[in-house]
């Protein structure tokens, strides 16, 4: 295993130069006190080279040579932001060389594949984290503190709503919305963030009753609509609705209805409606410019990356481990199975 740098920035390579790469590069440029972007790996380095303008630091190397990154002792962490279908092949040589891995969501296309990736990293003794940046938004952190505080009372009802819009050009990208490349549609690619955040606040889902479909608004292999009833280990019940066919594009919302208050959580704020009539709000800090549907705030990514660097240096656990991320994968798999069978499906814990 690559020994962590005791002082100075830790060497990082970004594997993948797709849609989310700019967000990673901006985030890394803003944390040069602890991170040094050494290289960006792309199948077409010349095409990826313009990404250097988004990095506020010395230009990184651009290469297609993954083996060279694996053999580079100055690289201690690899951020893997490739399509899910190549994750395992990318991760294996990096892990053999002792690199710590921070994965863009999802871990993989299927639960089995995700388990294999987790086991590969565990056997090698490297740290594996998953980038679920919704966890670090100010409203999410405030909700987590409130839930942990115990003043809300028992959880009774959960609502998870992911009302998104993607036009057909989104799915015209080769392989997008297919089972072979992505592992599915709206759930694994888009709604997995909200599922992860909700489960971090509610605890695990134990059973689902679901329907998935592809609407006439998209030409794609996998689902652009998923609807499910949920049962939770804590005794609560809930609903889950996710789609990329809901125009106009709106923000994801999680509502938790507890005995003493109800919480509304989205990227803009937290609203707590207490049963005694009080309403408590906490707004998200203002962002620098608008956030479009297909982009994110690089500060959220930056917070997760910073946490991961610190976990590597300390030997502690990252914000979201692969084993924890598997809970969301298992819910998604169960929803697919329930839709196919027409029956309720138990979720492995």
Predicted confidence band of residue 3 (pLDDT cuts 50, 70, 90): low
Cβ atoms within 10 Å, residue 346: 13
Report percent pLDDT > 90 for the chain.
92
Per-residue pLDDT at 2 exceeds 80: no
Confidence of residue 6 (pLDDT cuts 50, 70, 90): low
What integer best gives the mean pLDDT of the chain? 94
Is 99 in contact with 2 (CB distance < 8 Å)?
Answer: yes
Asked which of 74-88, 274-288, 320-334 is least confident by mean pLDDT, the reply is 274-288
The predicted pLDDT at position 41 comes to 98
Q: What is the rounded average pLDDT of the residues 230-244?
A: 98
Task: Report the pLDDT value the prediction gives residue 283, as an integer from 0 to 100.
Answer: 78
By DSSP bridging, strand 155-163 and strand 77-80 are: unpaired
Number of Cα atoms under 13 Å in the Cβ half of residue 198: 32
- pLDDT confidence of residue 287: 45
Cα(34)–Cα(135) distance, integer angstroms:
21
Residue 293's pLDDT is: 40
pLDDT, average across residues 43-47: 96
Q: Note every long-range contact of 310-319, with CB atoms under 8 Å and residues 24 or more positions apart, other chains counting.
A: 310/34, 311/127, 311/129, 312/4, 312/10, 312/76, 312/77, 312/100, 312/127, 313/4, 313/5, 313/6, 313/10, 318/102, 318/127, 318/128, 318/129, 318/130, 319/129, 319/132, 319/135, 319/136
Question: For the segment 117-133, what is each residue's pLDDT rounded down to a tens digit?
Answer: 999 999 999 999 999 99
pLDDT at 236 exceeding the cut of 90:
yes
Looking at the predicted structure, is the pLDDT value of residue 294 above 50?
no
- Given a cut of 50, whether residue 268 has pLDDT beyond it is yes
Q: In a 10 Å sphere around its CB, with 0-12 CB exposed, 13-18 middle and 19+ buried, how is residue 47 labelled?
A: exposed
Question: Could you tell me the sign of the dihedral formed by the alpha carbons of 320, 184, 113, 335, in that order?
Answer: positive
Using one digit for the tens of pLDDT, what is the confidence trace for 164-215? Answer: 999 999 999 999 999 999 999 999 999 999 999 999 999 999 999 999 999 9
Asked if the model's pLDDT at residue 21 lies above 70, the reply is yes
Domains of the chain by start residue, with CATH: 10-133+301-318 (3.40.50.720), 135-291+327-346 (3.30.360.10)
Question: Would you say residue 163 has pLDDT above 50?
Answer: yes
Portion of the chain with pLDDT greater than 70, in percent: 95
Distance, CA of 270 to CA of 124 (rounded, Å): 40
**For residue 28, is pLDDT > 50?**
yes
Cα Rg of the chain, angstroms: 20
Over residues 70-88, the mean pLDDT reads: 97
Mean pLDDT (whole number) for 281-302: 63
């Amino acid at each position: 295993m690559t020994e962590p740098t005791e002082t100075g920035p830790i060497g990082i390579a970004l594997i993948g130069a797709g849609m989310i790469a700019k967000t990673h590069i901006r985030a890394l440029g803003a944390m040069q006190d602890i991170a040094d972007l050494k290289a960006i790996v792309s199948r077409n380095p010349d095409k990826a080279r313009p990404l250097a303008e988004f990095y506020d630091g010395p230009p990184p190397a651009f290469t297609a040579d993954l083996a060279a990154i694996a053999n580079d002792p100055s690289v201690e962490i690899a951020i893997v932001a490739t399509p899910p279908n190549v994750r395992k092949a990318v991760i294996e040589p990096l892990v053999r060389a002792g690199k710590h891995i921070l994965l863009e969501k999802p871990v993989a296309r299927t639960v089995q594949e995700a388990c294999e990736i987790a086991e590969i990293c565990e056997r090698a003794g490297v740290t594996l984290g998953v980038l679920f940046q919704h966890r670090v938004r100010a409203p999410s952190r405030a909700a987590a503190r409130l839930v942990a505080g115990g003043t809300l009372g028992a959880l009774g009802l959960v609502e998870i709503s992911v009302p998104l819009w993607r036009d057909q050009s989104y799915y015209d990208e080769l392989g997008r919305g297919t089972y072979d490349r992505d592992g599915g549609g709206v759930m694994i690619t888009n709604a997995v963030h909200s599922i992860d955040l909700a489960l971090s606040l509610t605890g695990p889902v134990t059973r689902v009753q679901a329907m998935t479909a592809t609407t006439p608004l998209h030409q794609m292999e996998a689902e652009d609509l998923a609807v499910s009833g949920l049962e939770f280990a804590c005794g609560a019940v809930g609903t889950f609705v996710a789609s990329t066919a809901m125009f106009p594009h709106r923000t994801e919302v999680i509502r938790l209805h507890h005995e003493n208050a109800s919480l509304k959580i989205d990227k803009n704020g937290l609203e707590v409606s207490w049963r005694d009539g009080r309403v408590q709000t906490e707004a998200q800090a203002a962002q620098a410019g608008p956030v479009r549907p297909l982009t994110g705030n690089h500060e959220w990514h930056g917070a997760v990356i910073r946490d991961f660097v610190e976990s590597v240096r300390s030997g502690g656990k990252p914000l979201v481990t692969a084993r924890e991320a598997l809970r969301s994968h298992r819910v998604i798999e169960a929803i697919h199975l329930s839709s196919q069978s027409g029956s309720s499906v138990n979720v492995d814990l």
